[in-house]
Chain A
Amino acid sequence: MSNDEINKKKNSNIAGSDLICAIFLIILGIGSIISSLKMPIYKSFLDSPGFFPFILGGVFVVLGFLLMRTALSHDGYQRMKELLSAKRLKQHMKSGVFMRVLVLIALMMFYIFVLLGNINFVLATIIYLTITFYYLKATNVINMIIISTGVALGINILFTKLFNIPMP
C-alpha cells in the first residue's frame, strides 16, 4: 500500500470518529449554554459567572458544525456507521492493540481505585507492577518481583524519607 493510500485510509477512519466528536462537541456546547444561562447574574450578564461558559458553548457549537462538515466530506457518516456496527465492534474486541490498551487501563484502574488508599502504597505498587509486568511478559517472574519490590521501596524511601512527601 502506498503512503497516499495509507493516508487516505487513515483520513477516512478518522472521519468517522470526527463525526462522533462533532456531535459530542455540539451537545457539550448546548449543555454549556443552558448551564451558563442558569447561573446567577449579579451586576450584569457581562461579568456574571455564566458569561464566559456561554461564549465557550457558542464556540463549541460552531466548531462542532465545522468539524461535522469536514467529517461528512470525508464520508464520515458511512465511516461512523461502520465504526459503530456490531461487526466492527467485534473486530475491535479481537484486535490485539485494543485488548492490550483495555487490559492496561483495567490494571491502572485496579491500582488507582481499588488498591491505593485501601492498602499500603508499597504493597499496592508491588502488586500492580508485578501483574502488569506479567501481562506484558516483560521479563521472568523472579525478575518481575525483584523489580516491582525494588521500585516500590525505592519510590517510597525517596519521597517519604528524603523529601518528606506522604504516600497515598
Chain B
Amino acid sequence: MEAFLGEINLFMGALTSVSLIQIMVIVLGALLGIIVGAIPGLTATMALALLIGLSYKMELPIALAFLLSIYVGAVMGGCNSAIMLNIPGTPNSAATALDGFPLAKQGKGGLAIGVGVISSFFGMLISITALIVVSPIVNKLALQFKNWEFFLLALFGIMICGNLSSGKQPIKGWIVGFLGFFTAMVGLDAIYAYPRFTMGMLSLQGGIGLIPALVGVFGISEVLSVLQEKVPYKITQKTGRVIPSFDIIKRIIPHSLRSGLVGIIIGAIPGAGEDIGAWVSYDIGKRRSKIGDQFGTGVYEGLASAETANNAVIGGAMIPLLSLAVPGSPPSAMFLAAIWLHGVRPGPMLSFEFPGFLYTVAVLLLLSSVAMLIWGLALAKPMVTILKVKREILMPIVVPLTVIGAYANGIKIFDIYVMFFFGILGYVLRKMDYPMAPLVLGIILGPMADVSFRRALMQSRGNLLPLLNPLQRPIAFILIIAIILMAYSGYKRSVEYREMGSLVNMNQ
C-alpha cells in the first residue's frame, strides 16, 4: 500500500510539473492524431512516422507531449471511418467496424462514435494505471537481466511477435523478424567496429538508420498499398446524436474493464500491437458476454470491447518499452526511435538516468487521453467532412512528408534512399502476406541480440549449461521454455497449414 501511495505521489508530482506549452502541444497533437488516424490508410504508426520529423528540434518534454498525444489520438481516430465508412482508418479499428458500421446503418453512427471515444478513454485510464503499478515491478525484474537474458528476450520478442502477427504461417513472422536482425547487422560492428555487409559503401558504415527504415515500411509501403486500387467510398449515413446515455455507458463498463485488461496484456507482448489487442478482446467479449451472439449486428458492447482494448494496448506497450527497451507495438517502436534521438535510453537504467520519466509519460498519456476524449466527441460530426477528402489527394502528400521524416535527423540524402528501399521492400513483403511488426521489432532488437549474445558466450566461455539451471538463471530458464513453446506452437500451425495444402492437392 505504501509503495502504491508513493507512486501516486510521484505521479502527482509529475502532473504538477506539466507546463502550459506541453498542454497546448497535447491539445494540438491529439487533434492531429485523431485526424490522421481517421483517414483510411493513415495508421497510428504512420502518423508518428510522418510527424516524427517535427519533433527533432523540440525539447524533450515538448517532444514527449507531442508524440504521445499523436499516438493516443491516432489509435482512437480510426474508429470514425470504421463506423461511418466500414473502412477502418487504422488496422486497430478493424474489429470496431463489425458493430460500429451496423450501428451507423441504423442511424446511430454518432452514438457509436461517442461510445468508441468513451471506451477508448476508459482503455487509456485502465492502461495508465497498469503502467504506473506494473512498470516499477518489471523494472526491478529488468535489473536482474544480464547478457543472456537480453539476448533471450530479443529472441522471445521475435518468436512471439511472429506467432501472433502472421496468422496461419508463423514462420513468415519469424523470417521477417530475423531479416530485421540481419538489417541491424549492417554497418560497423558494436564491439570491434568492423564493417559488416557494407559492400564498401561509406554511407552504410553507420548502419541502416532506424527511422528511415521505419518511415519507409510504414509510409511508402502504406501509400502504395492504399493507392494500388481505386476503392471509392462515400458516407450515406447520418451521424445523429453523439453523447451516449448513462444507460449505455453502464452497459459498456464491464466490457471495457475486461477489454482494458486484455489490451494491457496484449500491449505488453513485444510487437503484438493495437490491432491484435482489439481482435483478441472482441473475441473474448463475444464468448464471455451474455449477448455474445448479437456481436456483429450492431451492439455497443462489441464496439466497446474492441475500442477499449486498442487504446489500452498503448499503456501496456509502454511497460516493456520503458523497462526493457522492447516496444509492445509498432507505433510504440516509432516512439522508442524518437526518444532515442533525444538521448533517452529506455531500459533497466532509465529510472536512474531519468528519474520520474515513467510518471512523466503516464501524466502525458493521461492529459492526451483527456484531449482525445474532448476532441473525439467534438469532432464526431465535423469528421464526416474530413473523411470525404479523396485518398488520391491525401496519399501523395504523404510522400514528401516521409522524405522529410527520413532526412531531417541525419540531414543525409542517403537516408531518403534507405527509406525508399524499405518502403518498396515493405510493400512487396505485405503483398506476400508477411507481417511488418516483427521486421520492425527485429531492426530494433537486432543490435541488443548481437552484442548480448556474443558477450554472454564470451563470459560463459561458450558454455550453455548454466542456462538450463533454473536456480542459477531463473529468468533465462523461463525465457527459454517460452521460446521453445512459441517455436513448437508456431511449427504446429505451419504443419497444419502445410497438411491443408497437401489435402487440397490430393483432391485436385
A-side interface residues toward B, CB under 8 Å? 8, 11-12, 14-15, 17-18, 21, 25, 28, 32, 35, 39-40, 42-44, 46-53, 55-56, 59-60, 63, 66-67, 69-70, 73-75, 96-97, 100-101, 104-105, 108-109, 111-113, 116-117, 125, 128-129, 132-133, 136-139, 147, 151-152, 155, 158-159, 163-168
Contact = CB atoms under 8 A, between A and B. Distances in A.
Contacts of B189: 49
Given A14-B432, A49-B191, A159-B408, A60 B178 contact: yes
A104 B427 CA distance: 12
Given A47-B458, A108-B420, A138-B393, A25 B175 contact: yes
Contacts of B427: 101
Interface in B54-75: 54, 56-58
Nearest to B195: A49
Nearest to B497: A70
Contacts of B401: 155
A40 B501 contact: no
Nearest to B454: A47
Contacts of B458: 43-44, 46-47
B400 A165 contact: no
Contact of A39 (B194, B453, B494, B508): B194
A158 B50 CA distance: 13
Contacts of A66: 171, 494
Given A21-B175, A96-B229, 20 more contacts: A15-B501, A17-B432, A32-B182, A43-B458, A48-B192, A52-B454, A53-B196, A59-B178, A63-B174, A67-B172, A73-B501, A73-B502, A97-B228, A100-B228, A105-B224, A108-B423, A112-B417, A137-B392, A138-B396, A165-B56
A15 B172 CA distance: 12
A100 B24 CA distance: 42
B453 A52 contact: yes
Contacts of B432: 14, 17-18, 21
Nearest to A64: B175
Given A25-B175, A47-B454, A129-B396, A53 B185 contact: yes
B226 to A, nearest CB: 10
Count class of interface residues, chain B: 35 or more
B192 A158 contact: no
A105 B424 contact: yes
Interface in B395-435: 396-397, 399-401, 403-404, 407-408, 411, 413, 416-417, 420, 423-424, 427, 431-433
Interface of B: 53-54, 56-58, 169, 171-172, 174-175, 178, 181-182, 185, 189, 191-192, 194, 196-197, 220, 223-224, 227-229, 390, 392-393, 396-397, 399-401, 403-404, 407-408, 411, 413, 416-417, 420, 423-424, 427, 431-433, 449-450, 453-455, 457-458, 462, 494, 497-499, 501-502, 504-505, 508
Contacts, number: 179
A129 B53 contact: no
Nearest to A76: B501
Given A43-B458, A67-B171, A136 B501 contact: no
22 contacts: A17-B431, A32-B182, A35-B197, A43-B458, A44-B458, A46-B457, A56-B178, A63-B174, A69-B498, A70-B494, A70-B498, A75-B505, A104-B223, A104-B228, A116-B403, A133-B396, A138-B396, A147-B393, A155-B404, A165-B404, A165-B408, A166-B411
A109 B450 contact: no
Nearest to A59: B178
Given A56-B178, A73-B499, A163-B56, A42 B454 contact: no
Contact of B182 (A56, A113, A147, A163): A56
Given A35-B197, A165-B56, A70 B171 contact: yes
B505 A52 contact: no
Given A53-B182, A70-B498, A39 B457 contact: no
B459 to A, nearest CB: 10
Contacts of A147: 393
A100 B400 contact: no
A47 B224 contact: no
B175 A47 contact: no
Q: Is the interface of B mostly helix, strand, loop or mixed?
A: helix
B397 A159 contact: no
Contacts of B423: 108
Q: Is the interface of A mostly helix, strand, loop or mixed?
A: helix
B194 to A, nearest CB: 4
Contact of B400 (A15, A73, A128, A163): A128
B404 A39 contact: no
Nearest to A165: B408
Nearest to A98: B228
A55 to B, nearest CB: 8
B498 A73 contact: yes
Contact of A112 (B191, B396, B403): B403
B197 A53 contact: yes
Given A46-B454, A49-B189, A56-B182, A74 B400 contact: no
A140 B78 CA distance: 29
Contacts of A67: 171-172, 175
Nearest to A143: B393
Contacts of A151: 397, 400
